[in-house]
Amino acid sequence: MTGVDLPATPATLPDAQVAELMALAAGGAPHPDPAIRGTAVRYARAERRRRRGRALRLTVVLFATGAGLVYLVSRVGGDALPVPAWAVVGLLAGVLVAAVVVNVTERARARRLAEVEIANLRAVAEAAAVPEPQPLTLRYTPAAAAGHLGVPLLAPVGLGLLVWRLLDADAPVGYWLAIACVVIGLLWLNGERGELRPPVRLDPDGLVAPRSRTRVAWSDVTAVELLAPTRTAPLGRIVWRTGDRDRSVDVGDIRQPPEAVLLTSRAYLEQR
């Protein structure tokens, strides 16, 4: 139970109302009608996920097309192609440009939908009854886990192997170079942005994040807020305000809905 009353199924909103919601959310304001806010949250959340899936499918198709063209040129040879080589190169460039345009466009639209979701969700959560607190553990989504855990390790390894090949080093040297790059990647990951990195547990004792070596008692938390999307947190951010340093987690990184995190935190704050 999150304590937030949202429609059971996403609604289809007219374009004029969606434009109104986006204009309001750009200034951080929810819809003035409380009856519309829950519907706006469900619509924005479902539409954002739908468009993200569509962008992913289009990107896969475009890159598969580009890979097919590269394979065709490499197997047949430029001189044997039924069309000029420049036409194939131009088509390949067009495919890559289309993939970039699709992703940039969909990301911009997704961010505007996230602004609608967060602006209205804040208002809905403020009006919701705070439930009895129950421990809650925030965990990475699969995509976030791959990005936060995989990329910092794969990138140094790839760099090490690339340098190894460029230097034409002996195998033992390249091996130890790759190991050194992995260590550097681990150190980089350990110092990443200073945010709370899941798993993060909310329980009667406070916030506990072992990977961030963080433990904050509820008595040290002054407020919990849901911030609007930014470039670094495109789906918004949950922030626990403290006296010395604020702690936060990106909404897009966790499986749990932000309303559950908000109300669980507020429930524990009321009981301290």
pLDDT tens string 200-253: 999 998 999 887 788 889 999 999 999 988 877 888 899 999 877 888 998 888
State phi, psi for 28 to the nearest 5 degrees: 80, 15
pLDDT confidence bin for 35, thresholds 50/70/90: confident
Return the minimum-mean-pLDDT range out of 58-67, 76-85, 176-185, 257-266: 76-85
Is the model's pLDDT at 161 over the cut of 90?
no
- Domain co-membership, 184 together with 236: no
CB 39 within 8 A of CB 65: no
Each residue's pLDDT tens digit, 130-155: 888 899 999 988 877 776 666 666 66
Q: Give a yes or no: residue 7 inside a domain.
A: no
pLDDT confidence bin for 192, thresholds 50/70/90: very low
Return the minimum-mean-pLDDT range out of 63-72, 169-178, 230-239: 169-178
What does the pLDDT read at residue 186? 59
Q: Give a yes or no: residue 10 inside a domain.
A: no
Q: Give a yes or no: residue 230 inside a domain.
A: yes
- Domain co-membership, 170 together with 265: no
pLDDT confidence bin for 57, thresholds 50/70/90: confident
Alpha carbons 140 and 124: distance in angstroms, whole number: 25
Q: What percent of the chain has pLDDT over 90?
A: 25
Q: Give a yes or no: residue 235 inside a domain.
A: yes
Domain residue limits at 235: 198-271
Q: Give a yes or no: residue 228 inside a domain.
A: yes
- Domain co-membership, 157 together with 209: no
- Domain co-membership, 93 together with 176: no
Is the model's pLDDT at 45 over the cut of 60?
yes
- Domain co-membership, 89 together with 181: no
What does the pLDDT read at residue 195? 73
- Domain co-membership, 33 together with 105: yes
Q: In b/e form, how buried is each residue of 173-207, taking b as 16+ CB within 10 angstroms?
A: ebeebbeebbeebeeebeeeeebbbbebbbeeebb
What does the pLDDT read at residue 24? 94
- Domain co-membership, 29 together with 96: yes
Alpha carbons 200 and 211: distance in angstroms, whole number: 9
- Domain co-membership, 46 together with 106: yes
- Domain co-membership, 165 together with 218: no
Alpha carbons 204 and 241: distance in angstroms, whole number: 17
**pTM (2 decimals)?**
0.72
The amino acid at 171: A
The CA distances from residue 175 to 71, 99, 120, 154, 163, in Å, are 32, 36, 53, 15, 11
- Domain co-membership, 106 together with 172: no
Q: If you average pLDDT over residues 73-100, what whole number do you get?
A: 67
pLDDT confidence bin for 268, thresholds 50/70/90: very high
Q: If you average pLDDT over residues 189-205, what whole number do you get?
A: 73
- Domain co-membership, 157 together with 229: no
- Domain co-membership, 51 together with 98: yes
Q: Report the DSSP pairing between strands 237-242 and 206-209.
A: unpaired
Number of domains in the chain: 3
CB 269 within 8 A of CB 218: yes
Q: Give a yes or no: residue 138 inside a domain.
A: no
Alpha carbons 189 and 196: distance in angstroms, whole number: 12
Alpha carbons 44 and 27: distance in angstroms, whole number: 16
- Domain end marker among 79, 97, 127: 127
What does the pLDDT read at residue 261? 92
CB 263 within 8 A of CB 199: no
Q: Give a yes or no: residue 137 inside a domain.
A: no
Average pLDDT, the chain: 79
Q: Give a yes or no: residue 259 inside a domain.
A: yes
What does the pLDDT read at residue 157? 67
